Structure 1
Amino acid sequence: MVNVVAIVLESVSSIAKQYHEEFFLLEIVSITIFSIEYIIRLWTCVDRVKYAAIEGSNTKRRLHYIFSPLALIDLIAILPSLLMFFFMLDLRFLRVLRLLRVFKLTRYSRAMQLLLQAFIDEGSTLLAAFFIMAVVLILASCGIYLLEHDIQPDKFGSIPAAMWWAMATLTTVGYGDVVPITPIGKLFGGVITLVSMGMVAVPTGLLASSFSEQVRKRRQVFENAVHEQITNGTLSEEHLSHLEDLRYKLGLSKLEANKAIKVQLNERSEHMFCRNCGKRP
């Protein structure tokens, strides 16, 4: 995160000139740490269960790891700087690409991992929604072009130029720099605005639903683990330690974990009876 902030501040010319050496030193340290981390992860990935199950040589397993999402993020974090250092490239877009290091936070943020998994699970549905939005965008651009082209040739001179208005309208942003002025154009714009309210909500709803489902699944996994660990209505220190590790891996809060444990203990106690008297303990 410090590295990303430094890259942002470096874009300010006055700050970049004053702290040029500090920024350069930070970049050297960062790229060294990130490179070592990447090499270690690449070398040790063959010991993970996920990649150890892949048939073939360790080279094949490492190739699978290289093209995994998290490994690609790690590579993107170091590649721009390596290109600038070793090939003496000083291209502006390479400097901007260093900001992609912010995606390394997904490795350490459970919430970001949940969101990423939600994108993956709903990938096909999201693509379908975006395709429909693209169709509506083109139709809106064509429509406003036909209605406003003769009146405002400077603003709606072509369909691509009209796409700016259509995009701002479909996303309900409405910058106001380009607006229809004819009655029929205003009516058309109103219809597009009403349509866009539902269109924009579709991807948001899909992601929210998938995110909630991911959280529910992780809670269910933890609850099942608690149910399996309970012995005679209690949990040993060893079991609690195991559940704590699982809680951390699943990204659940301690409040959620304690609630799940309490529920499972209560359910187990309700089904326990004394063998001698037949009463609940």
Structure 2
Amino acid sequence: MKADSERAKAHEGNTLKEKIWRVIFLSDSGSSRWFDITLLILIAASVLVVMLESVESVAAQHARLLHGLEWGFTILFTIEYALRIWVVRQKKKYIFSFFGIVDLLSILPTFIDFILAGSGHFIIVRILRMLRMFRILKMAEHMGDAHVLINAIKASRPKIAVFIFSLMAIVCIEGTLMYIIESGVNDGFNNIPQAVYWSIVTITTVGYGDIAPVTILGKMLASVMMLTGFAIIAVPTGIVSAELNREVKKVSMDHRHCEGCGHDGHDTKALHCKMCGHTL
């Protein structure tokens, strides 16, 4: 995520370290924008390589190529990670930050995989290889407006928590009702956890079809749950959308103060104060 202008002032200078900091952490020049674009392409390509390695036929036929590409990406990401640690002032804060951990997870599995190769720890090696998919999270770090969405989700947490708790209560109650109605005549509802599983699948409108009610009352309750599911899907979307709209408005607001009336919060392209008409 890019730093603001105040942080930029703290790093002003012409030394190599400061120039690298500006390229990596700011987006005020062509070189920094090209850096972001290049990294996004590398991240997407590295994730594609991880996916292709899981396809046995492709992995067997192009093992050497995929292995070489993986090490190439790992070396590049390692250099990037080392440069980030070198140029930041608060190194500990970056290392233990969300994106610092993501950057580390994007390179660590390959090195551990190399150390454990041939040691017989097949399950551990397999898990580590899949952990390389964390690289996809690096994309958010290089997308300028990603922080707007992240802030909107953070602001939505209390409301979403209430929604999830309410949803859990609904599926538990409806699952228990289905168990009472269907048990004894339907093997798919032979216990409450199984009935709750069916309730979750139904209310989210997934509908695997592995379990289905057979009684009239059970089908009626299932119909109500399906219709309820459509309404439930819209709730978290509406919550996040409302917060996202607020965040977008915050970003789009200009904090210039009018010399005539002192009002702020103008549009970024405004030439005159919206309250008194004074030239900004």
Q: TM-score, normalised by structure 2?
A: 0.71
Q: Is the Cα contact below 8 Å between 1:169 and 1:193 reproduced in 2? A: yes
Which residue number corresponds to residue 67 of structure 2?
Answer: 24
Alpha-carbon distance change, 76 to 133 in structure 1, aligned in 2, over 3 angstroms: farther
Q: Give unpaired runs (5+ residues) of structure 2.
A: 1-43, 260-265
Which residue number corresponds to residue 79 of structure 1?
Answer: 108
Q: Is the Cα contact below 8 Å between 1:170 and 1:196 reproduced in 2? A: yes
1:105 to 126, 134, 139: 139
Residue identity opposite 1:31 in structure 2:
T
Q: Is the Cα contact below 8 Å between 1:137 and 1:166 reproduced in 2? A: yes
Greater RCO, CA 8 A, separation 6+: 2
Q: TM-score, normalised by structure 1?
A: 0.71
1:41 to 65, 84, 88: 84
| In 1: Cα distance, 2:112 partner to 2:164 partner | 34
Q: Is the Cα contact below 8 Å between 2:252 and 2:268 reproduced in 1? A: no
Residue identity opposite 2:149 in structure 1:
L
Report deviation, 1:267: 5.4
Counterparts of residues 116-131 of structure 1 (less than 5 Å): 116-131=150-165
Q: Give unpaired runs (5+ residues) of structure 1.
A: 47-60, 231-258, 273-281
2:173 to 139, 142, 147: 139
Partner secondary structure for residue 122 of structure 1: helix
Residue identity opposite 2:116 in structure 1:
F
Say which one has the larger Rg: 1
Counterparts of residues 1-281 of structure 1 (less than 5 Å): 1-46=44-89, 61-88=90-117, 89-90=121-122, 91-153=125-187, 155-220=188-253, 223-225=254-256, 260-265=267-272, 270-271=277-278
Alpha-carbon distance change, 198 to 5 in structure 1, aligned in 2, over 3 angstroms: same
Deviation by residue 1:155-214 (Cα, 9 ceiling, x = unmatched): 222222223321221212223332212111112112223333333322111111111111
| In 2: Cα distance, 1:261 partner to 1:202 partner | 32
- Could you tell which deviates more after superposition, 211-220 or 121-130? 121-130
Percent identity of paired positions between Structure 1 and Structure 2: 30
Alpha-carbon distance change, 119 to 261 in structure 1, aligned in 2, over 3 angstroms: closer
Alpha-carbon distance change, 261 to 205 in structure 1, aligned in 2, over 3 angstroms: closer
Deviation by residue 1:230-257 (Cα, 9 ceiling, x = unmatched): 9xxxxxxxxxxxxxxxxxxxxxxxxxxx
Alpha-carbon distance change, 183 to 214 in structure 1, aligned in 2, over 3 angstroms: same
Q: Is the Cα contact below 8 Å between 1:115 and 1:211 reproduced in 2? A: yes
Structure (1 or 2) with the greater helix fraction: 1
Q: Is the Cα contact below 8 Å between 1:180 and 1:189 reproduced in 2? A: yes
| In 1: Cα distance, 2:268 partner to 2:166 partner | 45
| In 2: Cα distance, 1:95 partner to 1:157 partner | 39
Q: Is the Cα contact below 8 Å between 1:170 and 1:200 reproduced in 2? A: no
